Structure 1
Amino acid sequence: MTSVTSLEDEARKRKERLRALREKHTGRQDGSHSAMDCDSETKQKLPRPVFRSYKPQDEKLKEDSMQVDMKRPDVSDKVKDQLEAGKSKHMIEEVDLLNLAPRKPDWDLKRDIAPKLEKLDRHTQRAIAELIRERLKASQEDLACVVNASDLMARVDAEDAD
């Protein structure tokens, strides 16, 4: 039974703290609540519309509309300058045909894959070099002998061609 009463006490204390916070937030010091106070406070807190590009027909709303006198800047000088710049003929000395030619439909795929292909090419070259080394070790021949043999074969082929 004591646990139930303690829970009720805690609930009551919590309600009092919440009420005190609510009163502190609204600015009331006393605990009185009246319907007229709430209505007047909500009217003061409600935002009022500001009409910038709309002209209301109701007289009550006309006082909320903004009186904006927008003066348009004179752009005639800028337009004249642009027209004069357009009349002058610029000679194009060199035309880049790569920029004029249409691109192939898969140009973006090639561009995106190029770094991956470079990386793959390096791995391939390493693998080929490693296979060559393994073959040389397997045949138990000296590297210099192989080079000399290939040079000798090249000479023989050159002599036969003559």
Structure 2
Amino acid sequence: MERKTGSLQEQALKRKERLKALRERQLHGRGQDDGEPEQKKASLEEPAEEKHRELKLRNYTPEDEELKERQVPKAKPASVEDKVKDQLEAANPEPIIEEVDLANLAPRKPDWDLKRDVAKKLEKLERRTQRAIAELIRDRLRGSEEELAGAVAAVGTEEGDSD
């Protein structure tokens, strides 16, 4: 049992030493013994040297002519009237619809999708039915015309016989 606690204490001490070394490296910059190869160190340092930020003067008015060229122009504030106008337009409520379509509010019947799917077929059948009814009416009219013509002819022959 003592052996386990001893090894745990040793591990804790090693961990503390590693953390202390890491803190020192962070405070004092990168050290030589941080475990990275020399090529990586060189590649990390080169861009830092090449990287040069241009000086931009925002809040400082320089006296030197060269520095005056680097001065950033003053920013112009946005128009308050435009912002207020936009906010007022956004705040206007949409016109309220006075008429409410009851068909949209009422729940649909359970078979509405079946009726929708059959509607095209029913249109075709409705057209065929109308045509058939029109043909039947025409046939009856033709039949009644023939009967009427026959009756007129029969009446005409009877009158001609009686003359």
Calculate the TM-score normalised by the size of structure 1.
0.29
Calculate the TM-score normalised by the size of structure 2.
0.29
Point out the structure with max Rg over C-alpha: 2
